[in-house]
Structure 1
Amino acid sequence: MSTKPAILVTAADLAPQAEALLGDFEIVYAGKTPQAADLVALAQRHNPVGIIVRYGAVTPEIMDAAPALKVISKHGSGTDTIDKPAAAARGIAVTAAVGANAAAVAEQAMALLLGCAKSLVQLNERMHAGHWDKATHKSVELAGRTIGLIGLGAIGRRFARMCDAMGMRVIGFDPFAADLPGYIEPVDLDAIWREADAISLHCPLTPGNRAMINAQTLAQCKQGVILVNTARGGLIDEPALLAAVQSGQVAVAGLDSFAVEPMTVPHIFHGQPGFLLSPHIGGVTSAAYVNMGVAAAQNTLGVLAALSVAG
């Protein structure tokens, strides 16, 4: 067994650039689909000082299996899969790679928005089947339309800049955002529901906003609204969204995240018109993979170095 302190990675790999930063540590990989019992066993065996979280959740049981644990570092921006109160109670720092995947996720949100507005998937399928729908199909022109953003962090702001460049009016809700650029008009949630022609979610999942997209809020939206979610699936009441799409209240939903991941099979969205789906790959690009890995490694090293100095 290695004499180096261990870093447990809840995945099968890290970018080589991140591995290089962690050269003074034994890197323990948990595999492609780590389960809670696997992580507990690995924590008991290696007693890591840090955990880098890519897949799966970090529970109190996993924390208790690693008495040496000092830091849990998310390989990404969303920390909802980490039990933060449990970590705080145990004096374990929790960090995130904020902004490391902002470009990738913002581009995925724009791809979904454009795919929804321009019916790209349906038209592609029709063309391959030999149809020519020019005389009967009309797409949605986004210029001049209002996009409502919920969440104005690094991803939301980058996406807002793209929308502004296309001539869209950008309104946004984020109670924690400050120093917003001039092209983002801050509004309350009621204004988002009332005024937006398209809504895009860019906020973390918290107990307070779980299922914020539900039957009541969807009923307040403009008929035919477009909904895009590249944030967390738990923000949406999925049966309510299905009903809203089926009724035409929501014209089309472009979704990159789901309440349960991997997506359950069968799922209520499967085979339903009005849904453009991708498997939570908004942040999965070659560049983002490196950026998130390096940021997660740097965050881990930063906490451990600070504790070493303090000690």
Structure 2
Amino acid sequence: MKRLVYSGPPETVGIVEKEMNGRFEVVAPGEEPESLLPEIERCAVFLDASMKTRLTEETIAKAKALELVATATTGATHIDAEALRRRGIPLLTLKGQTEFLRELTPAAEHSWLLLLACARRLRGAIEGTLRGEWNRQRYPGVMLRGKTLGIVGMGRIGTWMAKYADAFGMKVVAYDPYADEFPPGTERAGLDRLLAVSDFVSVHVHVTEETKGLLSADKISGMKPGAVLINTSRGEVVDERALLEALRSGKLAAAGLDVLADEPDIGRSELWQYARQSERMIVTPHIGGYCPETVERAVAFACGRIRDYCEGGAP
């Protein structure tokens, strides 16, 4: 029997076994590279729901029996897609699975949480209180009503962000050259104008060759002074060195990030190092879409795509 190696939360292994229903020998060695990589080299199918291990060209070359790679995520920057393509191995992600994804809201909810936390200087207020301080004047917040939210990428998550902003009485401008329709009340704008007028900028685009470095040093320099940047898409979309300098100089008031270009090797990240020293930076470990109920649904859906592919249907 062919082997399927699964990397994901231990509590979801049973879902994979149930969905595969004896089609594969399901092996779940854990999410850490030292236990996972040797198993990948022996499997026919690799299903990933953790994004903790990079599937490099070297590993792919060693995986002689590998026939299919699938993820229960929309992004797959941790997987060398070009190395898979050269071997003719399909890569199935959740990107483009609109009907399934549209009702999954945790990533948008987490994006809004980061926006609120930055607006109210929540990290500093919590840390100060835990140090025994009680000084409300030290952490003045920003009222959202009447402020402008700029949304870069008006897809599923961006659309939810526009709805949340409307509920808070904010103005919304959005940039997305590929979106045909924007939510009611949302102003379509070029990227330069969006950055110039927005008090908060939230980024929600897939990482592609076109979007890598989309928020370049020049774009960040054109942001409204005192603005806040939220990024829950991918670290590669933002020039992280330019963002760091904008925070250090006071050009930007704060940043809330759920992604870093160097993740999961965050020790190399200058933004992570800065966050250890500054309350103006909030960094979370790529947890935007991570809620047990949504992970379970995504894993089951990914298993269904694997079944469809193996049965010769459209994945």
Query: TM exceeds 0.5?
Result: yes
2:304 to 275, 298, 301: 298
Q: 2:94 aligns with which of 97, 100, 122?
A: 97
The structure, 1 or 2, with the larger RCO (C-alpha pairs under 8 Å, 6+ apart) is 1
Q: CA deviation at 1:63?
A: 3.5
Identical-residue share of aligned pairs (%): 29
Q: Which secondary structure does the structure 1 equivalent of 2:79 belong to? A: coil
The aligned runs of 1:177-196 (5 Å cut-off) are 177-196=179-198
Counterpart of 2:256 in 1: which secondary structure? strand
Cα separation, 1, equivalents of 2:221 and 2:310: 49
Distance in 1 between the 2:41 and 2:83 partners? 18
Runs (5+) with no aligned partner, structure 2: 96-100
Give the alignment of 1:5-20 within 5 angstroms: 5-11=2-8, 13=10, 15=12, 16-20=14-18
TM-score (norm 2): 0.85
Pairing of 1:244-283 with structure 2 (within 5 A):
244-262=246-264, 263-264=266-267, 267-283=273-289
Q: Distance in 1 between matches of 2:49 and 2:136?
A: 48
Q: Residues of 2 paired with 1:106 and 1:12: CA distance?
A: 22
Structure 1 residue 237 corresponds to structure 2 residue 235? no
Equivalent runs, 1:151-170 vs 2, <5 Å: 151-170=153-172
- Corresponding residue for residue 62 of structure 1: 59
Shift of 1:11: 4.0
Instruction: State the 1:106 CA deviation.
Output: 0.8
Note the residue ranges of structure 1 that are not aligned, 5 or more in a row: none
Matches within 5 A, 1:78-89: 78-89=75-86
Matched-pair contact (CA < 8 Å) for 2:41–2:60: no
Distance in 1 (CA, whole Å) between partners of 2:78 and 2:181 is: 29
Check the 8 A contact 2:5/2:46 in 1, yes or no.
yes
What TM-score, normalized to structure 1?
A: 0.86
Alignment deviations for residues 143-162 of structure 1 (CA, whole Å, 9 cap, x no partner) = 22111111222222222221
Q: Distance in 2 between matches of 1:7 and 1:286?
A: 22
Matched, 1:122 2:124: yes
Give the Cα–Cα distance (whole angstroms) in 2 for the partners of residues 174 and 10 of structure 1: 33
Q: 1:10 to 1:253 in 2, by over 3 A?
A: same
SS of equivalent to 2:224: coil
Structure 1 contact 50–300 (Cα < 8 Å) conserved? no
1:241-280 CA-partner distances (Å, limit 9, x unpaired): 1211121111000111112123216724321241112121
> Larger deviation: 252-261 or 15-24?
15-24
Deviation at 1:219, TM superposition (A): 1.0
CA drift at 1:305? 1.9
Number of corresponding residues: 302
- Specify the alignment match of 1:27 in structure 2: 26
Q: Which residue of 2 aligns with 1:52?
A: 48
Q: Distance in 1 between matches of 2:191 and 2:227?
A: 15
Question: 1:206-231: CA deviations, max 9, x gaps?
Answer: 23322333432111010001011111
Offset from partner CA, 1:49-84 (integer Å, 9 cap, x none): 444353222334434444553432112111222233
Counterpart AA for 2:221: A
Aligned residue for 1:231, secondary structure, equals coil
What is residue 98 of structure 2 aligned with on the other side? Answer: none
- Structure 1 Cα separation of the partners of residues 134 and 36 of structure 2: 53
- Identify the range of structure 1 (219-228 vs 126-135) with the bigger mean alpha-carbon deviation: 126-135
